[in-house]
């Protein structure tokens, strides 16, 4: 049987039809909005990869699908509220009768960063996509595929909301006890002078390197990076917040550079992101620092105590193009360490919150991996869903 006959049989069975990209959707450049003109409001402004601010006006009604036009390419975002697509993005102006959520998932499979037409700054030219040939499902099947994939996204969003609530609880406790010093039994504790101001008697001010094991990442050779899972995963700065990396290396490094769930990470370039790692065993790449508390100090306490100095560096360190956090900066951090009585309470309360957060992060990692495994197979028609009885009523048109 010829390849053409096989392909026709496959397409017929999976109800795929071939069209050009220009007949699938119409992309339009986002709207200019300089930062100085952004007026605080309820409407998100979507840039090339994420929300870059909130404005008092919107340009587009939901549902929306946006991808990067300039700078960072390849990220696709789905939007359920009124929004302003920034000029660094392309947004879907016309879905041409296709189901919006299906369009979102379909675009994620196209690897749009490979359509870079920029010389200096990466740029996606929508005209380059128009003659791209696609194979798409009929509308009812589009809805079923979107329903399956969005079930994973809904679970991820729910877990993310729970994580945020836990973070807010931990922050509220930390502020009340260790900033305002209204911890259990504080009435009986005398306040004394220290280099950080008045602190409870018996508490100490210690340098970060005295209370935490600080490890800088290994300088892997970028030419040995791959997205094929034939080596050990390597976490880069961009991976800190989502706990998931697609980068692997065949290069070996000492075991001291291996990450474990619960490690605290700080990216040392750009915005100095902090995160709690929950992506499984991976190598620590250069320009990321890993922190592990010493002497039984709570991981969550260390994380919360570091937020203020890291925010300070974010607001004060200025680079010509990219800001950099240095070893000297980290050595300048002094933190307050409670005495034994509060420490026991910290370990119990913060330990429970921290462990629950890590479990939720781990669930999200598994959900993302499963969704990303299913996504191309569903879009390509390798998994048939036409006969599945799926209720799609909850989707907006």
Mean pLDDT along residues 335-341: 88
Flag whether 76 is in a domain.
yes
pLDDT, position 389: 81
pLDDT, position 396: 45
> Do 203 and 133 share a structural domain?
no
Please give the share of the chain, as a percent, with pLDDT higher than 90: 72
Flag whether 389 is in a domain.
no
Confidence of residue 392 (pLDDT cuts 50, 70, 90): low
> Do 310 and 206 share a structural domain?
yes
- Of 205, 362, 340, give the one whose Cα is nearest residue 278: 362
**From 150-159, 231-240, 376-385, the region with the lowest mean pLDDT:** 231-240
- Residue-range definition of the domain harbouring residue 262: 187-338
Flag whether 124 is in a domain.
yes
Flag whether 80 is in a domain.
yes
* Domain stops at, among 296, 315, 338: 338
Mean pLDDT along residues 362-390: 92
> Do 225 and 107 share a structural domain?
no
Q: How far is CA 30 from the centre of its chain?
A: 23
Q: How many CB atoms lie within 10 A of CB 289?
A: 21
**From 125-139, 305-319, 322-336, 380-394, the region with the lowest mean pLDDT:** 380-394
Confidence of residue 12 (pLDDT cuts 50, 70, 90): very low
Confidence of residue 93 (pLDDT cuts 50, 70, 90): very high
Flag whether 353 is in a domain.
no
Mean pLDDT along residues 239-244: 87
Which class for 164: exposed (0-12), middle (13-18), buried (19 or more C-beta within 10 A)?
A: exposed
Mean pLDDT along residues 86-105: 97
Confidence of residue 36 (pLDDT cuts 50, 70, 90): very high
Tens of pLDDT, residue by residue over 218-230, are: 999 988 898 888 8
Question: Kind of pairing, strands 248-249 and 288-293?
Answer: unpaired
pLDDT, position 3: 44
Residue 58: pLDDT over 90: yes
Number of separate domains in the chain: 2
Distance between start and end Cα atoms, the chain: 41
* Domain stops at, among 113, 137, 161: 137
> Do 214 and 99 share a structural domain?
no
Start-end of H helices in the chain: 3-14, 100-108, 139-178, 208-211, 299-316, 327-331, 340-379
Flag whether 157 is in a domain.
no
Flag whether 23 is in a domain.
yes
> Do 331 and 193 share a structural domain?
yes
pTM, two decimal places = 0.85
């Amino acid at each position: 049987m010829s390849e053409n006959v096989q392909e026709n049989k496959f397409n017929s069975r999976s109800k795929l039809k071939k069209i050009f990209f220009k007949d699938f959707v119409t992309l339009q450049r986002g709207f200019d909005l300089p930062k100085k003109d952004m007026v605080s409001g309820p409407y998100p402004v979507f840039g090339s990869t994420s929300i870059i601010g909130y404005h008092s006006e919107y340009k587009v009604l939901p549902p929306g699908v946006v991808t990067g036009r300039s700078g960072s390419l390849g990220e696709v975002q789905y939007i359920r509220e009124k929004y302003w697509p920034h000029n660094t993005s392309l947004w879907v102006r016309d879905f041409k009768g296709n189901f919006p959520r299906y369009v979102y998932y379909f675009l994620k499979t196209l690897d749009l960063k490979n359509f870079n037409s920029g010389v200096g700054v990466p740029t996606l030219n929508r005209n380059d996509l128009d003659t791209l040939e696609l194979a798409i499902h009929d509308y009812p099947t589009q809805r079923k595929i979107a329903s399956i994939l969005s079930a994973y996204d809904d679970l991820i969003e729910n877990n993310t909301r729970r994580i945020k609530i836990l973070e807010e609880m931990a922050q509220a406790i930390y502020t009340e006890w260790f900033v305002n010093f209204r911890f259990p039994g504080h009435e009986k504790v005398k306040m004394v002078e220290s280099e950080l101001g008045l602190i409870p008697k018996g508490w100490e001010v210690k340098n970060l390197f005295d209370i935490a094991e600080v490890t800088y990442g290994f300088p892997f050779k970028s030419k040995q990076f791959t997205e094929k899972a034939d080596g050990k995963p390597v976490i880069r700065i961009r991976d800190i917040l989502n706990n998931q990396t697609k980068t692997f290396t065949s290069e070996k490094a000492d075991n001291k550079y291996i990450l474990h769930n619960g490690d605290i990470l700080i990216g040392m370039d750009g915005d100095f992101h902090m995160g709690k790692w929950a992506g499984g065993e991976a190598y620590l790449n250069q320009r990321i620092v890993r922190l592990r508390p010493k002497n039984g100090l709570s991981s969550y306490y260390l994380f919360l105590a570091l937020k203020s100095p890291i925010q300070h560096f974010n607001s004060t360190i200025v680079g010509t193009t990219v800001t950099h956090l240095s070893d000297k900066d980290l050595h300048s951090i002094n933190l307050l360490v409670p005495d034994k009585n509060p420490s026991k309470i910290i370990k119990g309360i913060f330990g429970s919150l921290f462990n629950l957060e890590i479990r939720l992060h781990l669930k999200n990692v598994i959900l993302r991996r499963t969704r990303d495994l299913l996504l191309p197979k569903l879009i390509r028609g390798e998994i048939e869903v036409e006969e599945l009885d799926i209720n799609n009523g909850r989707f907006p048109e």
